[in-house]
Structure 1
Amino acid sequence: MAPSTEPATTDDADGTNEDESALEAKMRAVLHHLPSWVQLLSAWLLSRWPGRIVINGLESFVRLDMFDRSMTVAAQFFTSVFPILILFATWAAKSDADRLGHAVSLPDETQSVLQDAVQGDGSASFGILGTLLVLASATSLSRALARAFAAIWDIPTPKSKLASVWRWLAVVLGLTLALVLARTVSDSVRILPPRDVWPFLVSFGLDVAVALMVPWLLLAGAVRARILIPGAVCFALLMLTVRPATAAWLPHALEVSADRYGPIGVAFTYLACLYTASLCFLASAVLGQVIATDRGGLGQWIHGPEEAKESNDHSAEVASKDS
């Protein structure tokens, strides 16, 4: 169940515990047919925090169709962020456009598209109306992410209204800026000693900020930032492994795709990379939600002492009524 974010309300602790107990009961029924040593080990895991996190995390991931949602987000990211990058390139100087292409690992064949855009008249390529259309269509990414995060936290999707437009624009522009800064800032701090530490620290901090800002903005503060921190930290830790692997694979894959299939090959390669990033982003959010709503001590600490006390009082009140 989603954590309560209003001071006067409490978590539905009993409903959460009942769901977890039902799931654990099903797992124990399955384990009953396994060897005894497997049963003992599994029972020990199910009664402790790591087991609960793994089981509830996998159940939520499958139930919410995160594979399908990740593909939707990846496609929306491709059709939302890259047009904004091209828009920025038409306004930039040639050197800035070259750095922009380097930041997103564009191959030489695709880099020429940016150069052609820069050589033309930016105001003629993207007038006021064209800029507004690009930004308006880019907000589809924000709306797709809003639906995904609302499903993860089991809350109603925020209504689409004019007052929400600034949140959608802030998210899509923030993601575009983060895509560029992740590479450029890491390269800039690499000269500082120790050279191998600063890029990781910068990437970690940027990933935490993005994973914390995006759901908080899109859900209009319905979930407190404190409760979103576990998912943000999980995403940053995961990207410490995924980002170096992507940096090693992506440039070569883009060059091969461009040589064999041209621009369409580059597009499909980027989609594969974006799908991986989207899957990590949403999976981390699911894991963070499971950690934050767990009935153990860590989950109560994440909620804060006052909300944990209110939840315990509510559970005691329900128990007394049942008795």
Structure 2
Amino acid sequence: MASCVQIEIFDRSMTIAAQFFTSVFPILILFATWASSVDSTRIAEAVRLPEESRSVLDQALQTSGGATFGVVGAVVVLTSATSLSRALTRAFAAVWKLPRPRSSLRSAWRWLAVVVSFALSLVLVRAVSGSATALPPGNVWQRVVGFASDLTLMLYVPWLLLTGAVRIRRLMPAALVFATLMLAVRPASAAWLPRALEGSADRYGSIGVAFTYLAWLYVVAFCILLAAVVGQVIAADPGWVGRRIRGESVAASPAAVGDV
């Protein structure tokens, strides 16, 4: 609880949720305009876009072309999308009590890789999960795919953003906590989000859909930060569990607990 207060988890969750909305969705549209195999239907299904708002996505893709998403347009979209990576970097650095990271062009590829990974995971995980349902029992394999993807993503993202300052084995508790949380969040969002989006689209149009997505992304961002905090506390625990995670001998002194 002290760590949650220290990193201002509620404020940071809203900031990261807004960055998700303004970073990941434009990249999905950018990919759809470039890849003929990715159509608006697949993107709409990945983000559970209601029928009332799919026409907006169709118009965006139809009017997007070389003039809109040329080299310059793509650079602008990708550059602005890296704000999500920078926000996550600051959050993870605060969780692990690392020095405030400095922005530099040498880190740009890391920021871009993280944002692209988030965007691709929305489409790829849904596609793989759909194929997994064909294997009995379908629900079990679907959850296995989701758990594995969430675990991998939350190992990869902080390790890359923090430039390897925190080892993978110390990131494992946070990744496990996040993947476990998402086992409950994914079915709940699958049941609530489509109905909420439909209701918001009927009442308020596209702006209602945007606010509903922000509410959903806030929950996801909160789970990311909460898992990171819990994982850091577990990894820094002075007991045998923490020492085993850090790779220290059982007889190691607890004085090194504060080390990252």
Task: Return the TM-score normalized by structure 1.
Answer: 0.76
Q: Point out where structure 2 has 5 or more consecutive residues left out of the alignment.
A: none
Q: Quick one: which of 84, 102, 107 aligns to 2:27?
A: 84
1:234-253 correspondence to structure 2 within 5 Å: 234-253=177-196
Q: Quick one: which of 225, 228, 239 aligns to 1:282?
A: 225
Q: Indicate how the Cα distance of structure 1 residues 314 and 94 shifts in structure 2: closer, same or farther if over 3 A, else same.
A: closer
> How many residues are paired up?
256
Separation in structure 1 between the aligned mates of residue 163 and residue 37 of structure 2, nearest angstrom:
38
1:214-293 correspondence to structure 2 within 5 Å: 214-293=157-236
Separation in structure 2 between the aligned mates of residue 60 and residue 157 of structure 1, nearest angstrom:
16
Matching residue of 1:65: 8
The alpha-carbon deviation at position 233 of structure 1 amounts to 0.3
Deviates more, 1:216-225 or 1:183-192: 183-192
Cα pair 1:231 1:288 within 8 Å, conserved = yes
Q: Quick one: which of 312, 315, 322 aligns to 2:253?
A: 312
Separation in structure 2 between the aligned mates of residue 253 and residue 94 of structure 1, nearest angstrom:
29
Separation in structure 1 between the aligned mates of residue 12 and residue 110 of structure 2, nearest angstrom:
21
**Greater radius of gyration (CA):** 1
Matching residue of 2:115: 172
Once the two structures are aligned, what percentage of the paired residues are identical?
Answer: 59
How large is the RMSD of aligned CA atoms in angstroms?
1.7
Q: Quick one: which of 238, 247, 251 aligns to 1:295?
A: 238
Query: Post-superposition, which runs of at least 4 consecutive aligned residues in structure 1 deviate over 6 A?
Result: none
1:128-167 correspondence to structure 2 within 5 Å: 128-167=71-110
Q: Which amino acid aligns with 1:166?
A: W
Matching residue of 1:11: none
The alpha-carbon deviation at position 120 of structure 1 amounts to 3.4
Q: Which amino acid aligns with 2:123?
A: V
Q: Indicate how the Cα distance of structure 1 residues 276 and 125 shifts in structure 2: closer, same or farther if over 3 A, else same.
A: same
Cα pair 1:66 1:282 within 8 Å, conserved = yes
Q: For residues 47-69 of structure 1, what are the alpha-carbon distances to aligned partners after superposition, in whole Å with 9 as ceiling and x for unaligned? A: xxxxxxxxxxx121122210100
